[in-house]
Amino acid sequence: MTLTREKYEALIHERIFAPGKLSDALRNRKRRSIAGEDGNLLIIAADHTSRGKLSLGSDRTAMADRYTLLQRTLECLSVPGVDGVLGSADVLEELAWLGALENKVALGTMNRGGIMGATWELDDRITAYDLDHIAESGLDGGKTLIRIDYSDPAVARTIETVAATVTGLADRGVMSLIEPLPYLKDEQGKAILDTSDESLAVVVAIASGLGSSSAHSWLKIPATAGMKEVAAATSLPILMLGGEPKGNPGGIFDLWETGMKEPNVRGLTVGRNLLYPTDGDSLQAATRASALVHGPHTTS
């Protein structure tokens, strides 16, 4: 699907003169089962902007243009085997109005309050979808972010919030996609990702036990060379993320391919590596990711 400038301007016009049509389009779209036939999922992550993440490398506004973001997301969603998208209400409603979410999985991002670079960055409050609107909007699931740094007292509130959200989604029979990440503080007090597999396994174990039911819980975690050990820390289904695009895109695909050998690793939730790959070819990246996720699963 191609997004013309005329269609984009029509979307803006609709926002002004018939705003209810955007939410109606999301609520009334044709839906599908989450896991599909093979139990694997390829989800396009388009929720970075709602947390103020606009940069790629040294370009601080690389993802700032909404037309380009929508255009690239539409391109990826048109690839067979791309199962759906993760986004905030603005993105999901726009994609639904454009007709891109028919028979696709739509996941709403929830706690986006940990704005990039803020002093309160790890205090990840719910500022996007809440529990009621996940269900009322006809979404298939809700995604939460939990970044655990043992030195930051704000993390305790985030853990409590995510736990309550997991319970609320389970009560509604809706998928809960939890993204647990280990974090540290550098010498300037800035929050940075802890890339050790041991730390990742710990937060995976913590996230697996959140809430009063794990029946509808999935995890979204970084792809790592130690995925065998990290995935073994839980029986929950796992979707791998890609992080910041770097150098040759083949490296992250190699990690994904290795990770897919684990029985509870069921696919990808990827944004920048598919929407803004280093070689600029979103269509080729999404096609390659689709073949990886929905090809023969090496473990029964």
207-239 residue pLDDT tens = 999 999 999 999 999 999 999 999 999 999 999
Mean pLDDT of the chain: 94
Using the structure block, give the residue that is written with the tokens 């043992």.
150
Q: Which residue has the higher pLDDT, 63 or 99?
A: 99
Interhelix angle 89-97/20-27, nearest 10 degrees: 80
- Mind giving me the DSSP string for 200-256? HHHHHHHHHT-SS--TTEEEEEE--TTHHHHHTT--S-EEEE--S--S-THHHHHHH
Return the closest-CA partner of residue 144 out of 156, 120, 127, 119: 127
pTM for this entry: 0.95
- Predicted pLDDT at 237: 98
183 HSE (CA, 13 A, CB side): 22
Q: How far apart are CA 39 and CA 265, in angstroms?
A: 10
* Segments making up each domain of the chain, as ranges: 5-294
- DSSP notation for 82-129: --EEEE-HHHHHHHHHTTTTTT-EEEEE----S-TT-TTTT-----S-
Smallest CA-to-CA distance from 208 within 229, 238, 182 is with 238
pLDDT: which is higher, 144 or 250: 144
Identify the helix (H) or strand (E) that includes residue 133.
helix 131-136
Tell me the two tokens of residue 70: 């929508």
Over range 3-31, report the average pLDDT.
Answer: 97
Task: State the average pLDDT over residues 111-123.
Answer: 92
Q: Give burial (CB, 10 Å; 0-12/13-18/19+) of 24.
A: middle
* Tens-digit pLDDT profile for residues 64-98: 999 999 999 999 999 999 999 999 999 999 999 99
Dihedral angle of Cα 85, 251, 297, 261, to the nearest 10 degrees: -120
Quickly count: other Cβ atoms within 10 Å of residue 20's Cβ.
8
Question: Which CATH number applies to 5-294?
Answer: 3.20.20.70
CA angle (46, 95, 143) in 5-degree steps? 40
Give me the percent of the chain exceeding a pLDDT of 70.
Answer: 98
Instruction: State the number of CA atoms in the 13 A half-sphere of 3 facing the CB.
Output: 23
Per-residue pLDDT of 278-295, as tens digits, reads: 888 999 999 999 999 998
Q: What gap in Å lies between CA 225 and CA 232, rounded to an integer? A: 13
299 has a pLDDT exceeding 50: no
pLDDT at residue 298 tops 90: no
> Could you tell me which of 85, 94, 87 has the C-alpha nearest to residue 67?
94
Give the pLDDT of residue 189: 85
Secondary structure of 263-288 as H, E, C letters? CCEEEEEECHHHHCCCCCCHHHHHHH
pLDDT in tens, 150-207: 999 999 999 999 999 999 999 999 999 999 999 999 988 889 999 999 999 999 999 9
pLDDT of residue 300: 37
Q: What is the DSSP letter of 63?
A: T
